[in-house]
Amino acid sequence: MADVEDGADVTEKDAGTVLVVDFGAQYAQLIARRVREARVYSEIVPSTTPVADILARRPRAVILSGGPSSVYAEGAPGIDRALFEAGVPVLGMCYGFQLMARALGGTVDNSGAREYGRTLLSVSRPDSTLFEGTPAEQQVWMSHGDACSAAPEGFTVTASTDTVPVAAFEDDERRLYGVQHHPEVMHSTYGQQMLEHFLYRGAGLSPDWTTGSIVAEQVEEIRAQVGGRRAICALSGGVDSAVAAALVQRAIGEQLTCVYVDHGLMRQGETEQVEKDFVAATGVRLRVVDAADRFLAALAGVSDPEEKRKIIGREFIRVFERAQAELVAEAGAVGEDVAFLVQGTLYPDVVESGGGTGAASIKSHHNVGGLPDDLEFELVEPLRKLFKDEVRMVGRELGLPEEIVHRQPFPGPGLGIRIVGEVTRERLDLLRAADAIVREELTGAGLDRQIWQCPVVLLADVRSVGVQGDGRTYGHPVVLRPVSSEDAMTADWSRLPYDLLAKISTRITNEVRDVNRVTLDITSKPPGTIEWE
């Protein structure tokens, strides 16, 4: 293996990491997730990262992602051959596979032979490192224009398709492997098994990255960071801030105080859940600020969605600033130092903001509603290396109630952006009632964990003609927006059973006054967003 550069800051965690080199693939995050599902820790690095820097981190293995470019395109991202000569196990996928082939002397043709979507892969070496125990013919997901026609010297061709003569190759001696398809997507039937073969057999890694190890590691890091000082956390009621707070609470106990700002825009029962269930499960010190009247007064007469977001964010900042000032003053009176702010930043936030190194910044749209940059706190972000599903697993490990752990994603501005039109107390009551029915029926049908979320939208500025009780009505329509997703970057509408939709519609129109029509949003993302405003 190449020597680590003098003075390089390499941690034990770095030395156990699988690095995913992102060549602009839409699936780079999914690759990292699949590696973690194999209980091996992984992180994403951009393709612009010098190979010397990659090797300086002493990764246990490297995966080269796919990408939208042709290896022949001017300015297409490349990879230094030194990576393949460093003794580090490498797996190339799609574009990464082609880069490996070219760098090591193989042939990649720009022949116009294309494969997109489901493709039948013929495995010629069923006893190989990657394919042992999988069928000789299997469905995979392809997305490429160029194709490899000759493997580099020293490699064994292990699979092909009707169009591509070299669809996979392996060199066990150098621990270098490549596949033309995308094993990370569910359409590649044996993709996860193949990926695990690379990790366990090719790279010799052990599946020892578990929720228990995550909790133990983070507790140790939090204690080292905070020491004997105090921290505060803006608790939103969502799973991210709840798990972050519970982790910090596990680490420093009463040195943490959580502040929950009740802006009056939460769904039915959620404020009570935070006040009772979360505190009972964690023992955290919680300060609840009832600011509903303040928020409603600020939102009076406002219908523009962006203006509503700005008002809610601004008022949250003011309320939280006041609460944190009171906490700091109280702590100062007894000689304590409140120096840390806990935030539930997740790994996708870090990746999508181009982060991962350097000081973290507070995102204006994130958990705490947009805190000002001049708050003089050091951030504690115990979830910044985790995906959403991993956060939920950590929450269960910490003993949080299932109702909190599996709470569907909910926007910071709350129901304020699920009312199309002015936000009033009466309209909030209508929407809460309709939303509660939807959540109750989804839970009763066992579907609330099978969908990503189901926003319920009140079209407050629209009146719909209806007939109820033999009389003509002019009520509001509501929109159901059930969606399926893995990370909210893309989403598709969930195909809920017709009988369930009918039951939801009947209950809403019967039980929620002034609502006489229920509609279903069947738009994917893109082109539509998950939320309406």
* CA 15 – CA 520 distance, rounded (Å): 49
- Report CA torsion sign: 416, 422, 424, 428: negative
Q: What is the DSSP letter of 81?
A: G
Q: Where are the alpha helices (DSSP H) in 354-453?
A: 388-397, 402-405, 425-444
**Residue 533 appears among annotated catalytic residues:** no
What residues form DSSP beta bridges with 461?
A: none
Choosing from 43, 94, 144, 258, the catalytic residue is 94
Annotated catalytic residue, options 144, 181, 182, 197: 182
Q: Helix, strand, or coil here: 369?
A: coil
- CA dist 455 and 408 (Å) reads 9
* DSSP one-letter code for 491: B
Cβ neighbours for 431, distance < 8 A, ≥ 6 positions apart: 415, 418, 419, 456, 458, 478
94 part of the active site? yes
Task: Pick the closest to residue 106 from 156, 48, 56 (CA basis).
Answer: 156
Q: Which of 115, 170, 184, 315 is catalytic?
A: 184
Let me know the angle formed at the C-alpha of 291 by 306 and 414, rounded to the nearest 5 degrees.
Answer: 40
First vs last Cα of the chain: how many Å apart? 52
DSSP result, 143-174: EESSEEEEPPTT-EEEEE-SS-S-SEEEETTT
Could you give the CA distance from residue 80 to residue 240 in angstroms, rounded to a whole number?
38
Contact 420/459 with Cβ under 8 angstroms?
yes
Give the span between the Cα atoms of 27 and 188, in whole angstroms.
Answer: 13
Interatomic CA distance for residues 166 and 150, integer angstroms: 7
Residue type at 318 in one-letter notation: R
**Under 8 Å CB-to-CB from 261, ≥6 apart: which residues?**
234, 289, 291, 316, 319, 320, 323, 369
* Catalytic site positions: 94, 182, 184
